[in-house]
Amino acid sequence: MNVDTLLHQYFPAAGNVCIEMFDEKNIQQVYRRLVEVLIHQPEVETSLLQGMSYCFYEVMDNVLIHSGKTVGIVITNYSEPEHLIQILVADDGMGIRESLAQNGEYANISEQQALAYCIKDKVSDGKGMGFGLYSTSRLINTAGHKLVIRSGNHTLSANGDTVVTESEPWQGTIVYFELRSNMDIDPASVVDHRTDPADEFDDLFLDDDPELNELW
């Protein structure tokens, strides 16, 4: 993967991005490390982090489950003046169309259709629930600036309207989204009230850290 290309296209004005490679052995550590950077930013709303953290891990885990590759890359940036969180997760695997085609229901769809379908509920290659990108799209609708999913020769852009267009080729999948860090949200609504991301977040990040409990 060409990291310089990703930085140039998605983080052109960012001055201090975090870049991490992850695999099944270190995904938890990488995920926790990047979320904890945001936890220590007093201007970032806790409820936003509760919803975001669920989606963030799901998007990272998608790489290891669906791409056919064992390694992915994640790039994050936080701008306090702009109240902006940027997150990008990328792989150089099989791509969304080929992944979905493993499910007979989607065997004959086009790449453009695959990108349009991937943010819908319960659309999956059969190896997962088809909930990660769906919940991420709900997060963007609630507190986001934009969601970009790029795979093969097409890109889905969602910032109110959802459009799939032809684009420069990318072998694999890129998921990039921007969030308004000062938004107070209902994290349960992000996951359609199917789980409790607030409790999950608190259990993982706050309950065993007195400093963080005191901070919030």
User: Is residue 53, in this structure, part of any structural domain at all?
Assistant: yes
User: Is residue 196, in this structure, part of any structural domain at all?
Assistant: yes
Would you say how long the chain is, in residues? 216
pLDDT at residue 215 is higher than 90: no
User: Is residue 7, in this structure, part of any structural domain at all?
Assistant: no
For the chain, what is the domain count?
1
User: Is residue 129, in this structure, part of any structural domain at all?
Assistant: yes
Q: What percent of the chain has pLDDT over 90?
A: 89
**198 in Cβ contact with 50 (< 8 Å):** yes
User: Is residue 213, in this structure, part of any structural domain at all?
Assistant: no
Adjacency order of strands within the sheet including 72-79:
18-22, 72-79, 84-91, 161-180, 144-159
Q: Which tens digit of pLDDT belongs to each residue from 146-172?
A: 999 999 999 999 977 899 999 999 999
- pLDDT value at position 128? 85
**90 in Cβ contact with 172 (< 8 Å):** yes
CATH (domain of 122): 3.30.565.10
User: Is residue 214, in this structure, part of any structural domain at all?
Assistant: no
- pLDDT value at position 209? 54
Helix ranges, the chain (H):
3-10, 27-39, 46-66, 96-100, 111-117, 132-143, 187-190, 197-201, 210-215
User: Is residue 149, in this structure, part of any structural domain at all?
Assistant: yes
**38 in Cβ contact with 78 (< 8 Å):** yes
pTM listed for this prediction: 0.94
Q: What is the residue range of 199's domain?
A: 18-207
How close are the terminal C-alpha atoms of the chain, in Å? 38
User: Is residue 57, in this structure, part of any structural domain at all?
Assistant: yes
The two tokens of residue 185 are 């949200």
Q: Which tens digit of pLDDT belongs to each residue from 1-51?
A: 789 999 999 999 887 899 999 999 999 999 999 999 999 999 999 999 999
